[in-house]
Structure 1
């Protein structure tokens, strides 16, 4: 199965999209200024990794996201994804909100305590998703009035589900990303087998700025600090359970057993197997 994309645009901006793809590697959804989105999953299961959260999405759970960098990751349950992934996205922008509702989102100071949030798909949201799916499969049915009505319907449904004070407050909060503490971002993603470049992306920093800030915050280089923390976590697991050494290596974020063994030995002076026996 090849990657497929179907989109519906309004005033030259994508508002609805359906993506179908086979099994994939970690993929970046990059920051777009003043953009918010909602993601439904039609088929399969996918992980979403942001600076402070890891969400698992499937047919029963969707995602509400502000404008920030995050990664899509394949589910560890390959059986759920054997036929690929299919998702439907809805995009919102302040200019679009003003056009649809005559709301000026800058007039509301309402905030919410998340950047990405898992949302349970109830019957109303499920029916809404199916209606968008039909439009994406039949673009000849679509005109501007239908698009505007479906976007208004979405805002009504999702704002009610999130118990927002008003539609204006709900929309305003979507375009106010929460600032995430640098240290928290690193600790949240220590064992995810992210490259330094990917960690820098989650922090919205260039790799050079990331390395400088890391040294300031943690007092040593990111490579040395992260490797040490992974090895320390592995040592706890070796003492606490009967998992295979190879499983522990991957659980703490090493991409190969050889790399794990080398790093572990450099810290503890013995191999993981010797450490477990001792």
Structure 2
């Protein structure tokens, strides 16, 4: 549930954004024409891109180049509300902010195949910047276009001063989406807690287009193929691992132990526990 949503816009687009909410919250992020810095003031999430899953915790940020993402914010142990700050970056916004006189650190140096997301773990440069944004969100009457322009320029300058070659390389490549392989996305995310709709989003496809492409590539429906692959992995883990059945269930991407046990018995003729005992004997 979202309790507070504030944003300051420029050129008709959301630039500075603050959200306070109660998790769990699952969000599809469509960023085909923008980049973003996402910062968790409070709370943790699993952030998925086309290549991998990232853990975003309190006091950490994620620099995301243009593309599609999925973000799952988790329930806090103390049942506290979450708070997140996002700074959205667009090519025309950056040109406007610098009046087309782009600094050298933003000029293109050619495409590269770097990651889609860079985690900025507790950077001491970012923390005071985020605190300054919170001051503006708590005092909206002092925010105008000049403030927004200054905060965008400040962020870009800070990012480039973070002691990381990866960050600097991404700064030259924020608006060049990575190419992805359909099979690779499915393979890397098949045991994650993602729905078919969420997988389609990561592939930047509508649900109907995703199902058609999936059938053409794997000669099976997404639901059938994914469930069978998850069951196969679970069966392997039951043979070689002493992990609890519930842990194996969630590690293989099933939402509940009951649904996992029912599907497993339909496939292998016995419950997961009985199957493990049979294999051991």
- Provide TM-score, normalisation by structure 2: 0.87
Deviations 1:228-265 (Å, cap 9, x if unpaired)? 11111111221233333233222211223333223223
- What are the within-5 Å matches in structure 2 for residues 91-130 of structure 1? 91-101=88-98, 102-103=100-101, 108-111=109-112, 113-130=114-131
> How big is the shift at 1:166?
11
Q: Which residue of 2 aligns with 1:160?
A: 161
CA distance in 1, matches of 2:108, 2:43: 40
Q: Which residue of 2 aligns with 1:6?
A: 6
The DSSP-based 3-state class of the residue aligned with 1:217 is helix
- What are the within-5 Å matches in structure 2 for residues 246-261 of structure 1? 246-261=246-261
Q: Residue 25 of structure 2 contacts residue 74 of structure 2 at CA under 8 Å; is this kept in 1?
A: no
Residue 143 (1) aligns with residue 140 (2): no
Instruction: After superposing the two structures, state which structure 1 stretch, 263-272 or 132-141, moved more.
Output: 263-272
Residue 186 (1) aligns with residue 183 (2): no
The DSSP-based 3-state class of the residue aligned with 1:87 is strand
- What are the within-5 Å matches in structure 2 for residues 7-22 of structure 1? 7-22=7-22
Q: Which residue of 2 aligns with 1:90?
A: 87
Deviations 1:161-219 (Å, cap 9, x if unpaired)? 2646998x754410011011111111111112322222111111122221222223223
- What are the within-5 Å matches in structure 2 for residues 1-278 of structure 1? 3-29=3-29, 31-75=30-74, 78-79=76-77, 82-101=79-98, 102-103=100-101, 108-111=109-112, 113-161=114-162, 163=164, 170-278=170-278
> How big is the shift at 1:2?
5.1
Q: How many residues align?
A: 274
Change in CA separation of 1:262 and 1:158 when aligned onto 2, cut-off 3 Å: same
CA distance in 2, matches of 1:66, 1:209: 24
The DSSP-based 3-state class of the residue aligned with 1:174 is coil
> How big is the shift at 1:18?
0.8
CA distance in 1, matches of 2:172, 2:276: 53
Q: Residue 159 of structure 1 contacts residue 170 of structure 1 at CA under 8 Å; is this kept in 2?
A: no
CA distance in 1, matches of 2:166, 2:277: 59
Instruction: After superposing the two structures, state which structure 1 stretch, 18-27 or 104-113, moved more.
Output: 104-113
Change in CA separation of 1:143 and 1:240 when aligned onto 2, cut-off 3 Å: same
User: Aligned-pair RMSD on alpha carbons?
Assistant: 2.5
- Provide TM-score, normalisation by structure 1: 0.88
Q: Residue 2 of structure 2 contacts residue 19 of structure 2 at CA under 8 Å; is this kept in 1?
A: no
Instruction: After superposing the two structures, state which structure 1 stretch, 119-128 or 219-228, moved more.
Output: 219-228
Instruction: After superposing the two structures, state which structure 1 stretch, 152-161 or 214-223, moved more.
Output: 214-223
Q: Residue 22 of structure 1 contacts residue 85 of structure 1 at CA under 8 Å; is this kept in 2?
A: yes
The DSSP-based 3-state class of the residue aligned with 2:85 is strand
Q: Residue 40 of structure 1 contacts residue 89 of structure 1 at CA under 8 Å; is this kept in 2?
A: yes
Q: Residue 32 of structure 2 contacts residue 68 of structure 2 at CA under 8 Å; is this kept in 1?
A: no
CA distance in 2, matches of 1:184, 1:71: 16
CA distance in 2, matches of 1:235, 1:249: 10
Q: Mind listing any 5+ residue stretches in structure 1 that lack a counterpart? A: none
Q: Where do 4+ consecutive residues of structure 1 move more than 6 Å?
A: none
